[in-house]
Amino acid sequence: MGLLVEYSLAEGQSEAQTAALKDLVSGLKAEGLEGFSYTGYATDDPTRFIGVLEFDDEAAKRRFLDSRAFAAYRDGAGPRFTAPPKTTQITRVASTLA
């Protein structure tokens, strides 16, 4: 189970979003939470970023949503976005990852 997250950024917010995503990942690692992965991507459009989350189960999804790192990211996100992030539920069907 997973989520595709599409971020629409305000002009000039690409560097701030990059820093915020790096802080999110660093914070998640520091919390030592398990059962999920998050990867953030910049696109060739500096106002569009993508995130891919994968969860082992609903409990892992809840751990991510309840994490201090995600709370800090979410609380600082408003000024960077032109709209709330769009999420789409996804399911992995093939991957070179384990």
Q: Which of 95, 79, 91, 92 is nearest to 7 (CA)?
A: 79
- Condensed to tens digits (0 to 9), the pLDDT of residues 30-89 reads 999 999 999 999 999 999 999 999 999 999 999 999 999 999 999 999 899 999 999 999
- What whole-number distance in Å separates Cα of residue 96 and Cα of residue 35? 18
Answer yes or no: is 95 within a domain: no
Answer yes or no: is 41 within a domain: yes
Answer yes or no: is 20 within a domain: yes
Its domain, for residue 82, covers 2-90
First-to-last C-alpha distance (Å) of the chain: 14
pLDDT > 80? residue 7: yes
Q: What is the pLDDT of residue 16?
A: 97
Question: Any idea what the CATH number is for the domain that residue 54 is in?
Answer: 3.30.70.100
Q: Which two tokens stand for residue 16?
A: 């701030």
